[in-house]
Amino acid sequence: MPSATNATKALHAIGFMGLLVIIASALDAGIGVAARRDLKSKANWVFEMKGGTYDYVVLGSSRAYRVVQVAAVDSGVRGRGLNLGQDGASIPEIALMFDVFLRRNSTRRVLLEVDEFGLDSVWVSHPLHEYLYIAHLQDTAVAHMLHDYFGARELLWHYVPLIGYAEYNDRVGIQSVMRVLRRQHAEYDSTGSAPPHYGVSAAAFDSARDTTYLVSESWVKDLERLLATARTRRIPVTMFTATEYAPFRDAVRNRTALFDRYRAIGREYGAAFVEVADSDIAADRANFQDPRHLNARGAAIFSHRLGEALRREWGPFTPAGRSP
């Protein structure tokens, strides 16, 4: 009898654990739906895109996302663009978003914003926003990238219900559910561009000091992968850099060498580099939200000039489906 009682208890325990797994899996699936619909994540927007045809797309970090005003560039090149930039995006994340976009969309050209610190994995200490992709782990490219950077944690997020949403509960998961229920709108507009995010104290503009950035070869490989993807699809790439406040720009001791490296990498894959005349923009603090990001006024001036520079570089787009 005791053995029979123990067997019954074991079956009850197994049944209870099985029920918990079923409930947790159901909750994980439901929260995942909200996390993929959460418009705060621009990655979700890109994953949902399909059938879009653009003359050019803008790739980059917040210095593309919050500075490049697509409407102003469109006016210069007489084309239709889309801004795929993301806050805090590193080269690996930028490359992933480009891959995702190209699955169901097309573009004639790529406009890639690059920074002097953009290849420094030490300075950009966090390689990507992993919590934005927990709901997309069924995507092979996402799973591979997260596994490369987070190893066994990716497996836990992938196969253990709710574990990822619990770990990042202050950013996704229940937060996503609440934003979806409130129908919270995205901050970016239909072109993918967003307004300046925040301001800093006046003292921040006086804190420039000599800086030397490193080049992480693993991130060079991610940049090369992005450029190779574009070349395989015969999509010309043009690189540029957004304006920085002059004292901070001038404090980068190896800035010339860093951009020479970008140009050299670009030449290997047929990518060009366009210069924007911006010394007057860089010199005026009134154009900046913070030392590395232009405010609305500065972004408008820069975007207009970028459009003009690209028109000289590309020529105007034509209805025939191909730019000169």
**pLDDT tens, residue by residue, 223-233:** 999 999 999 99
Report the domain count for the chain.
1
Q: Is 86 exposed, middle or buried (0-12, 13-18, 19+ CB in 10 A)?
A: buried
What is the rounded CA–CA span in Å between residue 195 and residue 295?
A: 8
Per-residue CA distances from 231 to 93, 255, 301 (Å): 19, 27, 31
Q: Look at residue 117 and tell me if it is in a domain.
A: yes
State residue 321's pLDDT score. Answer: 44
Which has the closest alpha carbon to 241: 189, 292, 312, 188? 292
State residue 22's pLDDT score. Answer: 84
State which residues form the domain around 85: 53-148+183-314
Q: Look at residue 170 and tell me if it is in a domain.
A: no
Give me the half-sphere count of Cα atoms (radius 13 Å) on the Cβ side of residue 2.
0
Q: Does position 4 have pLDDT exceeding 70, yes or no?
A: no
Q: Look at residue 286 and tell me if it is in a domain.
A: yes
Q: Look at residue 188 and tell me if it is in a domain.
A: yes
CA gyration radius for the chain? 23
Q: Does position 196 have pLDDT exceeding 70, yes or no?
A: yes
Q: Look at residue 22 and tell me if it is in a domain.
A: no
pTM over 0.85: yes
User: SS3 string of 291-317?
Assistant: CCEECHHHHHHHHHHHHHHHHHHHCCC
Give the CATH number of the domain where residue 102 resides: 3.40.50.1110
Which of these ranges, 9-23, 56-70, 234-248, 295-309, has the smallest mean pLDDT? 9-23
**pLDDT tens, residue by residue, 7-64:** 776 676 777 677 777 887 888 899 999 999 998 899 999 999 999 999 999 999 999 9
Q: Look at residue 106 and tell me if it is in a domain.
A: yes
Q: Look at residue 34 and tell me if it is in a domain.
A: no
Written as one letter, the residue type at 77 is V
Q: Does position 68 have pLDDT exceeding 60, yes or no?
A: yes
Q: Look at residue 171 and tell me if it is in a domain.
A: no
**pLDDT tens, residue by residue, 254-299:** 999 999 999 999 999 999 999 999 999 999 999 999 999 999 999 9
